[in-house]
């Protein structure tokens, strides 16, 4: 039997808040964080909103001399990691530990630092390029920064795979733990909003409002969905093997039961119209965990307020309901986080908070659900709901999807 994996610590820095308590308060109130962007000049675009982290307070967490040299993505990841480690009660157990490591997911890392470095290189020549920026221009800068600060000596890996970058980090971390290559792995996702990234999404016509006659907002699963709105932030979970948790008498939040991935041959900017990749990933995951197949209490969908993905995912979830003979509530947490390539772990953190508070929040801006699919979308909040098992879904353009299964742990 493969060793069970538990989540023992949570940390996050995101537009909803910089502590787990603040994030839960916003989630419980059902208030998304979208505002006019301050870090991007949007005057030449038709899109203007985003979910920004307006303040990053690293006091008492990251030494000032290190914080000054770090890009925003790395700094947010470091703060989230340190808070997660403290939450897990592992602050004195990771330094110089060969069996403690980190796996991060990010789309492109710090595009602000990358942009600044190469603009200086092109405009002023090689001699004027700022060498202090260069170490932060690679996607693995965040994982490396965290590993240096926490002095961990185990595995150190970064995944970059569009919207499922963080989910792929989770899958890899699970496998490393079960293979016996580590006892503790910090797994996270991080990304920032930048002019470069905003422009890239704008020119590919991904951002709301794609239709100027409809409002600019995140409205997953709604008939008036009109494109995505960008977000940013970092979130980290501490994963441990069951034997390691027991040896130190740790108290886990949840069990990370398993995760699966599948892909389809579609265009580089498309999704499979019927979500075949996501459905295969879910089926494989539930086939391997048959005792939970008919006990799902919540589906955390990856809907991103785009026409194609939301409909494809609705088709998949409708098929799933028929196969498992359930009518599982469906939530779209990107309505709170916005879209960024490292958002997967933040969504998992939010799902764990939902499980442990037995409260189902609403999907903001959902008033007219996608027709043709009889799904139990959370149009209003539902307090005092027993939530023991959550199915997390995620898909990336280009045709790859992940499914992750969380299960509540009894604290008795």
- pLDDT tens digits along 166-198: 999 999 999 999 999 999 999 999 999 999 899
- pLDDT tens digits along 331-344: 999 999 999 999 99
Q: What is the mean pLDDT of the chain?
A: 93
3-state percent breakdown (helix, strand, coil) of the chain, nearest 5: 35, 20, 40
- pLDDT tens digits along 210-250: 888 888 999 999 999 999 999 999 999 999 999 999 999 99
pLDDT at 138 over 90: no
Q: Residue 12: exposed, middle, or buried by beta-carbon count in 10 A (0-12, 13-18, 19+)? A: buried
- pLDDT tens digits along 334-370: 999 999 999 999 999 999 999 999 999 999 999 999 9
pLDDT value of residue 133 = 66
**Domain edges within the chain:** 5-248, 258-408
| CATH architecture of residue range(s) 5-248 | 3-Layer(aba) Sandwich (3.40)
- pLDDT tens digits along 30-45: 999 999 999 999 999 9
Residue among 199, 164, 160 nearest 37 (CA): 199
Mean pLDDT of 17-36: 96
Q: How many CB atoms lie within 10 A of CB 371?
A: 8
- Only one residue has tokens 């980190």, namely 102
pLDDT value of residue 270 = 83
- pLDDT tens digits along 43-71: 999 999 999 999 998 878 998 888 888 88
Topology agreement, domain 5-248 and domain 258-408: yes
| CATH number for the segment(s) 258-408 | 3.40.47.10
- For the chain, the first-to-last Cα distance in angstroms comes to 25
Taking the C-alpha atoms of residue 209 and residue 49, their distance in angstroms, rounded to an integer, is 10
What's the distance, CA 79 to chain centroid?
Answer: 16
């Amino acid at each position: 039997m493969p060793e069970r994996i538990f989540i023992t610590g949570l940390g996050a820095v995101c537009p909803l808040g910089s502590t787990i308590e603040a994030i839960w308060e916003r989630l419980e109130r059902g208030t998304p964080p979208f505002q006019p962007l301050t870090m991007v000049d949007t005057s030449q675009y038709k899109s203007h909103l985003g979910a920004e982290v307006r303040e990053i307070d690293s006091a008492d967490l990251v030494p000032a001399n290190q914080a000054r040299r770090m890009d925003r993505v790395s700094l947010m990841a470091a703060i989230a990691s340190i808070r997660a480690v403290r939450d897990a009660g592992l602050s004195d157990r990771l330094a110089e530990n060969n069996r403690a490591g980190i796996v991060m997911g990010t789309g492109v890392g710090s595009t602000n630092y990358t942009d600044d470095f190469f603009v200086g290189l092109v405009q002023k020549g090689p001699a004027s390029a700022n060498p202090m920026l260069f170490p932060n221009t690679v996607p693995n800068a965040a994982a490396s920064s965290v590993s240096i600060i926490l002095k961990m000596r185990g595995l150190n890996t970064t995944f970059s795979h569009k919207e499922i970058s963080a989910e792929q980090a989770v899958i890899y971390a699970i496998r490393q733990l079960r293979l016996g290559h580590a006892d503790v792995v910090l797994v996270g996702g991080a990304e920032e909003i930048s002019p470069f990234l905003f422009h890239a999404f704008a020119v590919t016509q991904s951002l709301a409002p794609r239709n100027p006659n409809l409002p600019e907002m995140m409205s997953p699963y709604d008939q008036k969905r009109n494109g995505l709105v960008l977000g940013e932030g970092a979130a980290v979970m501490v994963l441990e093997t069951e034997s390691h948790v027991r040896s130190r008498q740790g108290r886990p939040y949840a069990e990370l039961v398993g995760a699966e991935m599948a892909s389809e041959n579609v265009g580089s900017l498309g999704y499979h119209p019927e979500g075949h990749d996501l459905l295969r990933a879910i089926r494989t995951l539930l086939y391997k965990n048959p005792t939970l197949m008919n006990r799902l209490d919540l589906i955390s969908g990856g809907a991103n307020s785009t026409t194609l993905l939301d409909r494809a995912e609705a088709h998949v979830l409708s098929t799933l309901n028929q196969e498992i003979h359930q009518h599982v509530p469906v939530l779209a947490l990107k309505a709170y986080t916005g879209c960024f390539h490292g958002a997967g772990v933040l969504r998992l953190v939010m799902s764990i908070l939902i499980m442990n508070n037995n409260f189902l929040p609403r999907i903001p801006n959902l008033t007219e659900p996608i027709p043709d699919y009889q799904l139990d979308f959370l149009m209003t909040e539902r307090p005092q709901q027993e939530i023991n098992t959550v199915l997390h879904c995620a898909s990336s353009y280009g045709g790859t999807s992940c499914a992750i299964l969380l299960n509540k742990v009894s604290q008795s």
